[in-house]
């Protein structure tokens, strides 16, 4: 894992449904191959891990302990496809895993991320003959 970051709204859609927030876990191996795991968030209950992240951003705290497993859905079903990075230089050949089941965050948290990130999502891209595989847990 090299980094994780957020986009609002989501950059991926499932059944043409976009979500208010998406988390990307960006991995890179010794061969410079990139794998991104995308986790979608829908409006619902307050997310305690996101609450901690937002608090740390405001207070500019570094080296905070964070249990990243709490940012993955319990059901590990996912979609898999080859694409590109969603930020410049839009590097191709990126393997994507997008978790099928979204996590929740509160309306207040949605608004806080929107205020911080100011619509930093790349527009939904066409499939361009891309094959999307589905893995069910």
Q: What is the mean pLDDT of residues 100-117?
A: 97
pTM of the model: 0.94
The domain covering 3-135 belongs, at the CATH homologous superfamily level, to Alpha carbonic anhydrase (3.10.200.10)
Beta strands in the chain (DSSP E): 3-7, 21-28, 34-43, 78-84, 92-99, 103-105, 133-135
Query: How high is the pLDDT of residue 32?
Result: 94
For the chain, give every domain's residue range: 3-135
| Residue 40 pLDDT exceeds 90 | yes
Token code pair at residue 15:
């059944």
């Amino acid at each position: 894992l090299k980094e994780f970051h957020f986009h609002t709204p989501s950059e991926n859609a499932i059944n043409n449904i976009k979500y208010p927030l998406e988390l990307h876990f960006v991995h890179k191996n010794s061969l410079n191959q990139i794998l991104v795991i995308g986790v979608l968030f829908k409006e619902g209950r307050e997310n305690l891990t996101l609450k901690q992240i937002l608090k740390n951003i405001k207070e500019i705290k570094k080296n905070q302990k964070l249990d990243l497993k709490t940012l993955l859905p319990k059901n590990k079903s996912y979609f898999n496809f080859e694409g590109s990075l969603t930020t410049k230089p839009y590097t191709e050949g990126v393997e994507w895993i997008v978790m099928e089941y979204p996590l929740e965050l509160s309306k207040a948290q949605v608004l806080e991320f929107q205020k911080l990130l100011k619509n930093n999502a790349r527009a939904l891209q066409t499939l361009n003959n891309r094959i999307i595989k589905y893995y069910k847990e």
